[in-house]
Structure formats: structure tokens, C-alpha cells
Structure 1
Amino acid sequence: MVAGLALLGTVAAVLVNLEQIAEAEAQANAVLVGLVGLADAEHIQRTVVFFVDNRLVGFVVTVGCSVGLLLVPPISIIAVLLVGGRLSLRRALAACMLIGSALVLVNQLRLSAAVGSMKLWGFERGYEISHVFIGSMVTSVGLVLAIAIFASVLTKTRILRTGSNER
């Protein structure tokens, strides 16, 4: 019960810190696109900046485009199941780690696709293509996979083959 309430506290902390989460995502994306060679990028608060055709461009990771809001529903569900005794602490923590990691990865792929599109097709066209088509496709596929992982962890009898039938 205490762990479930702590998870609800985590949800509250996420909601209070959405702008800081978006800034951390911008920073992570600037590093990621540099590591994979898409762009020599920097972040300024919630903005990822880089050069396209010798022109400095960028995009802002808004609270609405951040992973923060996506984390709230699954963590809330896990917390309620934990408080109600329908989920073990071990399974709850595994579900939080997996769904959280999956959602962060999907969002970083979406942001990186925006950078790659702008580098490939120029700022205006690349941003439009990545925002409307590529970003939506990456997000849709990623969310379906994240939900499948989430459902799998919550419904399986065992997470790992440890010999326990923990539910």
C-alpha cells in the first residue's frame, strides 16, 4: 500500500515537473543526435538547436510533446493496482521501468526523426514531414509496442524464470 501511494506521489512529481522533464529530453536529444551523427546539436533550455544548410534552426520540446504526460496514465494504473493488492511490488516496479524506458525511447526516436528530416529535406519541409507523418508513425508504433509491453508485464504469471509464481 505504501509503495502504491509512493507511486502516486511520483505521478504528482511528474506533473509538477513537466517543463524540467521536457528540458531533460531536449538535452538528451541533442546528445543522441550528435552521437549517431545526425547533427552537431546543442540544447538551450527546452530547445534543440543545430545547423541546416548553414542556418541555425531548432525546435522546442513542449510539455505536450514531452514524454512526461505519457508517463502519467500507466504509472497511475500501476499505483492503483498496487494499492489495491492486485499487483506485487516486484511486478509494479518492473512494469514502471519497462513502460517508462519504452516511452522515453519512442519519444527520443521521434525527436531524432525530426532532426533527420530537417537535415534531409530542409527546415520547413523536413519539420512538416517529420511532425505530421514520420513523428506520428514512430509515436503510433511505439505506443502500441509500449502498451503491449505494459499489458504483458501486468498479466504474466512470471517476469523472469525464477521459479516463483508471483502475481
Structure 2
Amino acid sequence: MLIVSALLLLVFNNRFRSLEAIVAGPLIGLGTGSKVEVEPSVALIFFDVHTWRMEGLRITAECTAAVVIAPFLLMAGGIITFGKFRISRVLAGVAVAAAILFGVNQLRLVVIAFATHEWGLLRGYGWSHLLVGSLITSFGAIVAIAVFFVIVSRPGRRGRIEPAVEGGSA
């Protein structure tokens, strides 16, 4: 089911990008201190609306959190299928990792909008999108991986890893 979810997320990421734009709109408004308008149908966030500085950020298929969440869904599906970990822990781990990655991408969008708002399209957008945005995403992915594996492999009540299926004694 998680593997199918990963594929659906990638194939139908336009709806996910719309959600990202809706959530990012108010955050970008706070980050830039400007009026913001969101066009969810094309995952577009305008800031500095009604000013000569008006800019827009479009969340493209390459810049959505879906491209970093989908591999976690695939990994979790593989762990459930072939691993010896409790399904509830794997599902909890992937849910927390997905939330972290979604939040990190929101932060990345706010940073890009802030830099563009402060230093313009040429100076602000370029370095914030390519360099700082990539660093934010990389750091977020590392944190999400660590948190995922801490949740999945955390010791049980008696201090040992709980098996996926508890069997009787032989």
C-alpha cells in the first residue's frame, strides 16, 4: 500500500503541490511582511501583491516535497514487506518523516520568498533557491531519515527491539 501511495504521490503531485501552496501562502506573508495571494490550481504563490515588486513562486514538480516523501514511502513499504519491524512503528516513522519533509519544504519556500523580497529576483532568488534551498532540503532529509530509524528501531518495553510477529516458544 505504501509503495502504491508513493507512485500515486509522484503521478498526481499537482494536488499535493496545490496543498503546499495553500499552506505556504500565509507563511510567506509572515516571512516577507507582504500581502500574499495563492493560486492553488497552478501551485503559485504571489507576494508583494499590489506593489511594483510583486513576485511569484511556483511550486514545480521538481521542487515539491513529494519528491522527497515518495522515497520514504517506498522505503517504508520495503521495510514492512521484507523487514522484521513492527508495522505500527514503520507507519509512525514514515508519518513523522513525511511531516518533517513537508515542514522543511515550507521553510525552504519561505526562505526563497524572503530572499527574493529583500534582494530581488536576480540576487535573492538565485542563491536562495539553488544553494540555501538545497542545503535546507538536504538537512531536512538527514533529520527525517534519523527520526524515521529512531522510531522504527526504538527498543520495546523491556529494552529490546520488538519483533514484527511474536511467536510462541519452541
The interval holding the TM-score normalised by the smaller chain is 0.7 to 0.9
1:122 aligns with 2:120: yes
Query: How far apart are residue 147 of structure 1 and its match?
Result: 1.7
TM-score normalised according to structure 2 size: 0.83
Structure 2: which amino acid aligns with 1:156? R
Q: CA 1:164–1:35 in 2, change beyond 3 Å: closer, same or farther?
A: farther
Superposed displacement of residue 86, structure 1: 1.8
CA-CA distance at 1:36 after TM superposition: 5.0
Does residue 50 in structure 1 map to residue 44 in structure 2?
A: no
Letter in 1 for 2:71: P
Cα distance in 1, alignment partners of residues 117 and 98 from structure 2: 29
TM-score by length of 1: 0.84
User: 1:35: how far off?
Assistant: 4.3
Matched, 1:28 2:23: yes
Q: Alpha-carbon deviation of 1:156?
A: 2.1
Equivalent of 2:162, from 157, 161, 166?
166
Which range moved further: 100-109 or 42-51?
Answer: 42-51
The 3 A distance-change label for structure 1 pair 162 and 58 is: farther
Q: CA deviation at 1:76?
A: 0.9
How far is the alpha carbon of 1:121 from its aligned partner? 0.8
Structure 2: segments with no counterpart, 5+ residues: 164-170
List aligned pairs for 1:14-163, cutoff 5 A: 14-36=9-31, 38-44=33-39, 45-51=42-48, 54-158=52-156
Query: C-alpha separation between the residues in 2 aligned to 1:70 and 1:85?
Result: 22
Q: In structure 2, what is the Cα distance between the partners aligned to 1:49 and 1:36?
A: 13
Percent of paired sites with the same residue: 29
Partner residue in 1 for 2:2 = 7
Deviation for aligned residue 1:72: 1.4
User: Partners of 1:157 and 1:55 in 2: how far apart?
Assistant: 54
Instruction: Find the aligned partners of 1:16 and 1:77 in 2 and give their Cα distance.
Output: 18
SS in 2 for 1:64: coil
Runs (4 or more) in structure 1 with deviation over 6 Å come to 161-164
Cα shift readout 1:43-71 (whole Å, capped 9, x = no counterpart): 12211111186332112100110011111
Aligned-partner Cα distance in 1 for 2:85–2:47:
45
